[in-house]
Structure 1
Amino acid sequence: MASSTVRAGSDKWEALGPFASAATVEAISRPEGGSLLLVSSPETVGGFWSGGLGGTWRVIVPPTRCPVTTCLVGSHADPRRWWLSTGALSEAHESGIFRTDDKGSTWQRLATEPAPGESFRSVCAHREGRFLVAVTAEGSMQVSRDGGDTWKFEDLTADREVADGGATFHDARLEHGDRPVRVVAFAQHGNALFAATAGVWYPGNPPVITAGQGVLRSTDNGSTWHDASGDLPNLDVRTLAVDPDGPCLYAGLRGGSVHRLAL
């Protein structure tokens, strides 16, 4: 796929919170049904949850000895069940996958450990909540097919068969001016594809610093991209989530804020 330059545009975003100025929103979970919104933020230890899609927020207290919450995801089948992945800053901390069935009041550590020297980066759940995938920052992956009771390592280097032999995979590159754009998350709604872009520091002499370019939108399978950042206060966007019950897109920003865009 040819390189494409981001074109300017304007969209109106609604600020939802939680506005922890020293934090970064790393993940947003919006389970279908009800009005639950979950936000993970490593700098605030656990994260936040809202039972009214951002009307009010409550702090999530993670399990003990787990100061870094790397991801938080809710169950589509049961609004009380959440899964949480934690990272490790030192040997005194634990990296693991935890589950709560009472909205974070108590946590159960699941029977899985990251590979030696690795730390869990994210966890995601299928709609029914039985199929889970946990990925480490170093690239290994574990899968559970029973809601987290048992886990199995998956070999990401093994040959995989896809329906069209891989014919639909193309090399893609986004540019803003003469610099590449760092894409950290994707989301899809109908025929629209959204990309979250974040700032990045490239080592060198002198080092190269590339700012985030906000949220980008493509309606032609990624051939061209348009700016969808509108009035976002910060273009360092770390995560995206589509509302399964309504035409809305959520964006999490560096600076601890969550914003919603009507689609």
Structure 2
Amino acid sequence: MTAATLAAGLTLALAVPAAAAPAAAAHLQPWQLVGPNSAGGHLAFTPDRPARLYVLPDTGRSVYRTDDHGDTWMTQGALGPTGYAIAADPRDGDVVYVAALDQVTGTGEVLRSDDAARTFRTVATSPGGLSSVVVSGTGEDVFVAGEAGVLTSTDHGRHWAKLPGSPTGVTDLALDGDELYLTTGAEIHVVDDALARPELPRKLGVPGTPYLTSLSAGDGVVVGSGVLGSGVLSTDAGRTFRTLTGPWGADDAAAFTGLTADGSLEVQTIGSAQPDGSPGTRGVWLSRDRGRTWTDHPAATGAVDLYSEIGAFPDRPQEEVVSGPAGIFSTRDSASFKRIGVPDTEVNALATAGPALLAATGSGTYRSTAPLATHLPRGYQDWGWTGKAPGTFANSVGALADVSAKTVLRVRQGYCEVDCFTLERSGDGGTTWSPLATVPGNSRSLVVDPRHSGTVYAGSYLTPAVYTSHDGGRTLTQHAIPGLDGVRSLAADPRGTLWIGDVTGLYRSTDGATTASKVFDGEVAHVAVDPRDPRHVVVAGSGFVKVTRDGGATFRTATGLGSADYSDATFTHDGTLYVSSGTKYEPGRGVFRSTDGGTRFAALPTQPLDRDVRTLLPAPDGRWLFAGTGAGVYRLPLR
């Protein structure tokens, strides 16, 4: 990427929500990112703007910025390369660096923004991916590291060179005064006098054979940890290291280590896995005396689940900011937490339950009434915070199905010796959930028979099958239909036909999934039945959208779309048809509309900032079209 990724005029200012638009101009209105605040990421603070925080989400596709301690967030266009680390200039809060990787070429790129992350440009490249970046207190010296070693700039990022003697395979950097520490996994090196006359990297003695992916350093303390391994600690500027120990179990892993704003040492530990495969007991520990004594914070894991990074706003040093897989949180006592961001999460499915919108994500189901309101209220990006973050492991929700205004079903990945999912029910509009049945496989498809609300179908794509239930989901029966290799979508019509979208093609069953016949070949992502005419069916898939008006006797390929992966299709009450383009592995093309039932489509004149649209849902009252993307939920006024 050698040019700005998006003009500043396309920046989406989330703090200024729009009201519903007149029907004639509805599709010309901008899409609004409405949340949910359910994604973590990498943190970058700057003393120059003490209320500002940049977050590079774990997806690595864009940068979010708050200028008001997390009350509102702004996001810009896509980075292009995938970002893995972020740092801001302490003296100029508008200057931001991202360490990135071009997934196509395998080239590492140093991205720089001079306009507060609105646009980025490439200022340096590396033969391999880059995964860490640090900036000195003056902003003059910048270090970026990755597979090919360490790049350095001594003039505020204008010119770059390879750090002499740098080892390869660097996973993280930490700067403490003039000392630059770097880890290559099993080793830690230090560059003495790194800001003036850098010496050659010097290998330090580390006990055991840890695999270190993160380092923190400050005031002579250096601490490192990896993925479910033991951490290492030095309290004498790296001259000696010891295995990190504390009051936790001897076999517990140091999943996270870091230093707080006041220099305290913070550690999260995880015990051995339970017999059912679920993660072991977790703890968050704080030491104010360099690891000699520790204080346990048992409420922290319930609120955040897993720690990935910590920091603090410069004007609020006593308020810790914690990044976890399901959000960015702030706390003053490690007991009560506030979720402050960020609205960047992969959305698998959407549903409405009475006055609320539900979003199925990789970290559970989120619920909010704000997206259905004419004017978005304060805090509209934060959905349903209860003081307890959803679990990180085995909590991916693949599909939702509404039964009534208050009753909703969902399928969630479960804990089993082999892949399995659990069908769950909510009787309070998605606020709480109860398990019904657990079966082998994994699921992204769920539908309720429109003739009998107690008949439920769930598709599986790891154990290819269709599961049926005639008691509201309390029991499920597996139907391993010949030919199925991965069910991705199900649709049921009032005539008794069940449409099965599989990675091998479209199938049709008229006996409740006991048997099915193949209609056509192709990788099907979604099947939609026109609620006004069950013989009108639309099938979206890899490279096509096909339409039938005779119940499947014949299908015609829609025009006006072009070659792309199409992910969803939905009808509004007036018969307008929308399809979306999105996939986990390729850039999406956004949302298309047809006013003739799917014969011809045209791209909407405005698009969500994230065009990787996975799922679509019109509001029950027809006022909004919601799009679940790879980075949150957007809404568009329809009238």
TM range (shorter): 0.7 to 0.9
Distance 2:285 2:156 in 1: 34
What 5-or-longer segments of structure 1 have no aligned partner?
1-17
| Matching of residue 221 in structure 1 with residue 290 in structure 2 | yes
Match of 1:194 in 2: 266
Distance 2:78 2:63 in 1: 8
Following TM superposition, by how much is the alpha carbon of 1:91 offset from its aligned partner in structure 2, in angstroms?
2.7
| Matching of residue 230 in structure 1 with residue 299 in structure 2 | yes
Match of 2:153 in 1: 144
Q: Secondary structure at the match of 2:59?
A: helix
Which letter maps to 1:225? W
Distance 1:189 1:170 in 2: 23
Name which of structure 1's ranges 36-45 and 172-181 shifts more when overlaid on structure 2.
172-181
Q: Percent identity?
A: 18
Distance 1:200 1:151 in 2: 44
Following TM superposition, by how much is the alpha carbon of 1:192 offset from its aligned partner in structure 2, in angstroms?
2.1
Match of 1:127 among 126, 137, 141: 137
1:159-170 alignment, distance < 5 Å: 159=202, 167=239, 169-170=241-242
CA contact (8 A) 1:196 1:239 kept: no
Match of 1:3 in 2: none
What 5-or-longer segments of structure 2 have no aligned partner?
1-34, 168-188, 190-200, 205-219, 221-235, 334-639
Distance 1:92 1:230 in 2: 44
Match of 2:125 in 1: 112
TM-score scaled by length of structure 2: 0.32
CA contact (8 A) 2:260 2:310 kept: no
1:174-213 alignment, distance < 5 Å: 174=246, 176-190=248-262, 192-196=264-268, 210-211=279-280, 213=282
Match of 1:245 in 2: 315
| Matching of residue 77 in structure 1 with residue 91 in structure 2 | yes
Task: Identify if the C-alpha distance between structure 1 residues 174 and 46 changes in structure 2 by more than 3 Å, giving closer, same or farther.
Answer: farther
Match of 2:42 in 1: 27
Larger radius of gyration: 2
Deviations, residues 100-142 of structure 1 (Å, cap 9, x unaligned): 11122221211231xx4x3111211112211112122x58322
Task: Identify if the C-alpha distance between structure 1 residues 132 and 48 changes in structure 2 by more than 3 Å, giving closer, same or farther.
Answer: same
Match of 2:112 in 1: 99
Deviations, residues 76-96 of structure 1 (Å, cap 9, x unaligned): 1112111111234x4356531
Match of 2:62 in 1: 46
Task: Identify if the C-alpha distance between structure 1 residues 191 and 27 changes in structure 2 by more than 3 Å, giving closer, same or farther.
Answer: closer
Distance 1:49 1:188 in 2: 21
| Matching of residue 173 in structure 1 with residue 219 in structure 2 | no
Number of positions where the alignment pairs a residue of Structure 1 with one of Structure 2:
231
Name which of structure 1's ranges 191-200 and 219-228 shifts more when overlaid on structure 2.
191-200
CA contact (8 A) 2:149 2:162 kept: no
Which letter maps to 1:251? V
Which letter maps to 2:96? W
Task: Identify if the C-alpha distance between structure 1 residues 166 and 123 changes in structure 2 by more than 3 Å, giving closer, same or farther.
Answer: closer
Distance 1:207 1:109 in 2: 47
Distance 1:133 1:251 in 2: 24
Distance 2:92 2:241 in 1: 35
Distance 1:139 1:227 in 2: 39
CA contact (8 A) 1:197 1:215 kept: yes
Deviations, residues 7-54 of structure 1 (Å, cap 9, x unaligned): xxxxxxxxxxx7554x4x231112114311111113262132101010
Distance 1:151 1:224 in 2: 43
Moved over 6 A (4+): 198-201, 206-209
Distance 1:214 1:139 in 2: 36
Task: Identify if the C-alpha distance between structure 1 residues 185 and 135 changes in structure 2 by more than 3 Å, giving closer, same or farther.
Answer: farther
Following TM superposition, by how much is the alpha carbon of 1:254 offset from its aligned partner in structure 2, in angstroms?
0.7
Deviations, residues 192-213 of structure 1 (Å, cap 9, x unaligned): 2223557999xxxx99875583
Distance 1:207 1:112 in 2: 45
Following TM superposition, by how much is the alpha carbon of 1:248 offset from its aligned partner in structure 2, in angstroms?
2.0
Following TM superposition, by how much is the alpha carbon of 1:61 offset from its aligned partner in structure 2, in angstroms?
2.8
TM-score scaled by length of structure 1: 0.72
Distance 1:199 1:140 in 2: 34
Q: Secondary structure at the match of 1:233?
A: helix
Task: Identify if the C-alpha distance between structure 1 residues 59 and 53 changes in structure 2 by more than 3 Å, giving closer, same or farther.
Answer: same
Which letter maps to 2:266? F
CA contact (8 A) 2:259 2:265 kept: yes
CA contact (8 A) 1:179 1:210 kept: no
Distance 1:199 1:40 in 2: 29
Distance 2:148 2:296 in 1: 30
Distance 1:134 1:212 in 2: 35
CA contact (8 A) 1:182 1:198 kept: yes
CA contact (8 A) 1:200 1:210 kept: yes
Match of 2:502 in 1: none
Match of 1:8 in 2: none
